[in-house]
Chain A
């Protein structure tokens, strides 16, 4: 808003207490699937947009760097823990805000040059933007994308250098007294700092940068898909393509990507309760039970959201495939033939 743009509300999913906060703050709405999302953000122009993207990054880095140095100088581990995640924010935002900031002038230039779809290559999710570049079906899209990535790296490096984030802490002046030996108190502080740093990073990463599935988890998802919708009729190639698309669709949104990781974790936990190492290690009937437990989880819980998301998308994808149509006696897509026999009873 300080840059002339506007933002209207903060969306918080009921899962994350949105309904609770909405009671107290009229600008918070719980009708959202996001853990936290500012909605209705409209910059006043490109400059406003650029400043809005970069300002938090620079402010965090600028505040974090001297604090981190101070923490080292004064041997304050808790302060180091707090400040380091801020000082290194440009690195954490390489695939997000840094790319987005670089893409603003690049895409504007391209748009002015007549590439009207270039503005679609703006965004703070590199994977999503890459999908947009692929959808454009033009090598120019990938050139713009690469330029944005390179620009993002430059912006991150420049921010770090400008804010002193990568500069080594100043040398100790000769007059500085010798370092004190470790005491129980300093050990405690160091431990606390590490814990705070770890917890802060973990929360940031979990909420804002949910990871993609590891190969083992992808295998678990493949097994889950078989439990949800047996695809024995499919060729191996089709089955892989199906899993790829399911994964791509589920990972397209931050919330569903996070639910994917946590939902698979839930299934593995259930498996351990049943005495197996993980979900894959369960017998067929036990897998059914684990998935059933997921489906029956509390309304609005992550496991239930995970089940609904994966189940519904899997059903859509599997039954949009002609392989399944024969068994159901569904003939073909609506066009080009249509269904001129629509007045007749269904053929046997």
Chain B
């Protein structure tokens, strides 16, 4: 008898959603999480005076010993012709000097709740066309499931999490009424609405997993704008406050923290049989289960599969077609910070409170470029949370002149974010680093990111539109951050993508491995396309819930005589 019905690796958005769905339907689940469990009121620093200097208490770049958590592949050269689209700010100059793209970080959190612990609450539904990029535009791949099928699970996820969204976003049509009404725009964002109108766009409230009113025993938001440092109130729908309590209450969830999965073992029939992990004390443990559900994210999940080699799976588990780790996509980003003539105090509110979806429908743009992008008011996301950010980044120089200048512009800054499509390309991928290893000597994942022609063209369009918005708002640009010379992403997807063709995908339409029938996925690794400016949390959650349902169905059909 196995230790559990299902062992899940990773307690992020997908892993916890799946654990909730499975345990509430009677399954016994063991959940392995490499990080620790955070205590919001103790661990999150928003009450401290130096809150601006203290991000979420997890360093995504290096471990406790100062060693890197990931390897990075070759850095792409930045074309001199695109110098106008590089990252800079007024006080510090070039943010990524040199002639190559700089790997800043894969922004994520290891811990119970995963990256939802520091995410900014965005809960987006993909545009239906993003699921048919190959059919409509001849790029990327089509999803193996329909939008209607996905939407059922969007609804389920929104109810479980508590999503506040506008009901009338015609660029993201929906057949159900949102669970909660949207948050009104902040004063700073309202100030930008006319500028959007000059471009034919409409800034509307963003769809957010942040509560405007009490919901399921959680309190409403008090608009502190500090979601990225962790939410001490519990109004932000991080997976540790949405799915975990109910799953634990069933008594069928065995949560093991600081448990780093090392290998998925298989039985003589090629079925996943157990997961070997390293516990907090460094000892190797083994947990057996009827099903293994991988939910470590689009970087760690392929790492685990590639590490799980055996005579039967010499290239790594589920990697017969050598698709594991390929097709990594990110969100293409451009961020402008600009100073308005008047004070708006944009440190108040929600990190990304408004969105304009007018350009966020995938389309064929000029010069063969395909994609779309969403524009947002993103003052908190840009880190405009207090005086230190202004003093360090936005006001040049020093001394009394700096002091006077700062006093004149503090509270005037707004930030505009553009997020766009990233088409899969052969050079953007995850594999095992040939030399970097973790503290136990296990090879680290290596991320290689490369902007294709499509991304470079789309990025210019995003930048030009954002700059035009700043001009229309009468705002002076003082900082620009660009994917052109910086790799910095939280939205990693596609490294074990689902599809109908086993030669081109790792998972089937249900999220199960083509090769290993009792191995499934519940994270961003299975998502085949980046979306046109959509944050992926809701899509990852919806697919994880759907895979959990499929797992229950398969389990029942297997058990049936």
Contacts and interface: CB of A to CB of B under 8 A. Distances in A.
Interface in B52-103: 52-53, 64-65, 67-68, 71, 75, 92, 97-98, 102
Interface in A68-94: none
Interface in B407-445: 407, 410-411, 433, 435-439, 441
A6 B222 CA distance: 49
Contact of B49 (A7, A300, A333): A333
B281 A116 contact: yes
Interface residues of A, number: 54
Contacts of A39: 68
Interface stretch (A142-150, A151-159, A187-195, A319-327): A319-327
A339 B47 contact: no
Nearest to A323: B49
Contact of A322 (B49, B398, B437, B441): B49
A315 B71 CA distance: 32
Contact of A321 (B49, B223, B437): B49
A277 interface: no
Interface residues of B, number: 65
Contacts of B47: 333-336
B441 A8 contact: no
Nearest to A44: B441
Interface stretch (B224-232, B242-250, B455-463, B464-472): B224-232
B392 interface: yes
A66 B109 CA distance: 53
Interface of A is mostly: loop
A40 B443 CA distance: 11
Nearest to A347: B345
B49 A320 contact: yes
B398 A227 contact: yes
A346 B414 CA distance: 14
A237 interface: no
Contact of B385 (A300, A317, A334, A336): A334
B187 A311 contact: no
B391 A42 contact: no
Contacts of A181: none
A343 B191 CA distance: 11
B437 A316 contact: no
B138 interface: no
A329 interface: yes
A346 B49 contact: no
B491 interface: no
Contacts, number: 158
B321 interface: no
B347 interface: yes
B67 A343 contact: no
Contacts of B270: none
Contact of B391 (A116, A300, A315, A338): A315
Contacts of B406: 319, 328
A322 B233 CA distance: 23
A320 B399 contact: no
B226 A334 contact: yes
B387 A324 contact: yes
A103 B187 CA distance: 55
B222 A339 contact: yes
B517 to A, nearest CB: 36
Contact of B387 (A7, A41, A288, A328): A328
Contacts of A182: none
B126 to A, nearest CB: 29
Contacts of B435: 6-9, 40
A340 interface: yes
Contacts of B388: 315-316, 319-320
Interface in A18-62: 31, 39-42, 44
Contacts of A322: 49
Interface of B: 46-53, 64-65, 67-68, 71, 75, 92, 97-98, 102, 184-187, 190, 221-226, 229, 232-233, 280-281, 343-345, 347-350, 385-388, 390-392, 397-400, 402-403, 406-407, 410-411, 433, 435-439, 441
24 contacts: A8-B71, A31-B98, A40-B68, A40-B436, A41-B67, A42-B437, A111-B281, A229-B402, A230-B399, A288-B399, A291-B398, A315-B391, A317-B53, A320-B53, A330-B410, A333-B48, A335-B232, A336-B47, A337-B224, A339-B222, A339-B349, A340-B222, A342-B186, A344-B187
The 3 A-B residue pairs whose C-beta atoms are closest, nearest first, are: A338-B222, A339-B348, A334-B224
Given A230-B399, A342-B223, 13 more contacts: A6-B441, A42-B437, A308-B92, A315-B388, A319-B406, A334-B385, A335-B233, A337-B224, A338-B222, A339-B349, A343-B185, A343-B187, A344-B187
